[in-house]
Amino acid sequence: MNPDWQAYLQSQHALIENGRVAHFSDAAAELSTTQSATVVTDLSHFDLIQFAGEDAQSFLQGQLTCDVSKVGSPAAAVATYGGYCNPKGRMLASFLLWRDNSGGYLMQLPSALRAGIQKRLAMYVLRAKVTLAADPGDSLVRIGVAGSHAGALVQSILGEISPLPLGVSQGERGSVISLSEERFELIIAHEHTAAVWQGLRKGARPVGAACWDWLDIKAGIPVILPETQEQFVPQMVNLDVIGGVSFEKGCYPGQEIVARTQYLGKIKRRMYLAGIKVQPGRAAMPIRAGDELFSADMGDQSSGTVVNAAPSPGGGYDVLAVIQISSAEASQIHWTSPDGPALEIMPLPYAVDP
């Protein structure tokens, strides 16, 4: 996190822990507001990798699951979700990718993964004319805005925004990615962040990072974390459903396994949205990514894994979890043990084929 930006957020009553905003004084009230009103939050717990050079597109096309050619030009750009896999098709990272003002690319992923993924990708540059760099000096600040009035609020401050799904609009003070009709990410040059934040605060309540985590979960957007690296092929976390996998492009690490899963086999695990009401005696045990799930049909063998978890406005936690499809259809799923708190499966905001 940019030190000046961190100091500014702290002047706005932000409590910052481990590089992310925990809350702005009242975490429970902020979460409740996120469910019913318009909110604004800092997204510095994600990092950026910049890709530049004339071979940047072809390099990324040969490394990632998504079709980089469809990201488009800076003048008419869209962002895309995507994944980076090991040779066995297991995901090392998920990310959001878009073009920057210079014609290169920006990849956004959790801060805990950035250095390792950047180093691994750099190993494959070889003779390609492409450079990789972390955002120098944290010069680009990312801000999330969500709620029924979010679009009008963002537009009043930054001008016209793209109506396209994952559309990217460019302005003098930064860019806006339209994540949905009611959710936007702003990528703002550091010198404009205080003014933009103050403008947003006139119509939105500042909230902690966990509130954005909850919005990602409710949107069915998986975020691979250190606890879940190399556990899932992209289809298990529905990356194919949200446009993060191309089955028409050429090779990339793990492509053969990903394609075989799609065309020759039936996937046995898929990602579900669920709620978990934590029992009173377990209140001190937060639900986390990587936690195992169990069901009667699998006995003592795990039938699933938590991908992401965040406190729910209604109490307990909401989670994205990869679960054995047969278990989800036949049994009650439980957290951490066969007799642990039960998961209440909820509908995802998109259709998923078995």
pLDDT at 350 over 60: yes
Q: What percent of the chain has pLDDT over 90?
A: 81
pLDDT-derived band at 135, boundaries 50, 70, 90: confident
Q: What is the pLDDT of residues 149-169, one digit of tens each?
A: 999 999 999 999 998 899 999
Least confident of 47-61, 63-77, 82-96, 331-345: 63-77
Mean pLDDT computed over every residue of the chain:
93
Q: What is the pLDDT of residues 190-217, one digit of tens each?
A: 899 999 999 999 999 999 999 999 999 9
Domains and CATH numbers, the chain: 1-265 (3.30.1360.120), 268-354 (2.40.30.160)
Q: What is the pLDDT of residues 281-301, one digit of tens each?
A: 554 579 999 999 999 998 889
pLDDT-derived band at 324, boundaries 50, 70, 90: very high
pLDDT at 73 over 70: no
Q: What percent of the chain has pLDDT over 70?
A: 96
pTM tops 0.85: yes
What pLDDT, on a 0 to 100 scale, did the predictor assign at position 102?
Answer: 80
Strand order in the sheet with 333-335: 333-335, 292-295, 304-311, 317-324, 269-276, 343-346
**Half-sphere exposure at residue 106, Cβ-oriented, CA atoms within 13 angstroms:** 23
What pLDDT, on a 0 to 100 scale, did the predictor assign at position 171?
Answer: 83
Distance of CA 46 to the CA centre of its chain: 9
What pLDDT, on a 0 to 100 scale, did the predictor assign at position 2?
Answer: 84
Q: What is the pLDDT of residues 210-236, one digit of tens each?
A: 999 999 999 999 999 999 999 999 999
pLDDT (mean) for 277-282: 66
**Paired tokens of 25:** 């004084």
Whether 196 and 173 have beta carbons less than 8 Å apart is answered as yes
What pLDDT, on a 0 to 100 scale, did the predictor assign at position 103?
Answer: 82
What pLDDT, on a 0 to 100 scale, did the predictor assign at position 149?
Answer: 97
Q: What is the pLDDT of residues 106-115, one digit of tens each?
A: 999 999 999 9
Residue 213: phi and psi, rounded to 5, are -55, -45
pLDDT (mean) for 44-53: 95
What pLDDT, on a 0 to 100 scale, did the predictor assign at position 101?
Answer: 81
pLDDT at 280 over 90: no
What pLDDT, on a 0 to 100 scale, did the predictor assign at position 354?
Answer: 67
Distances in Å between the alpha carbon of 336 and those of 54, 287, 294, 343? 49, 9, 7, 11
pLDDT at 137 over 60: no
What pLDDT, on a 0 to 100 scale, did the predictor assign at position 288?
Answer: 96
The residues with which 309 forms a beta bridge, in sequence order, are 319
Nearest C-alpha neighbor of 4 from the set 200, 190, 143: 190
Q: What is the pLDDT of residues 258-277, one digit of tens each?
A: 999 888 777 899 999 999 99
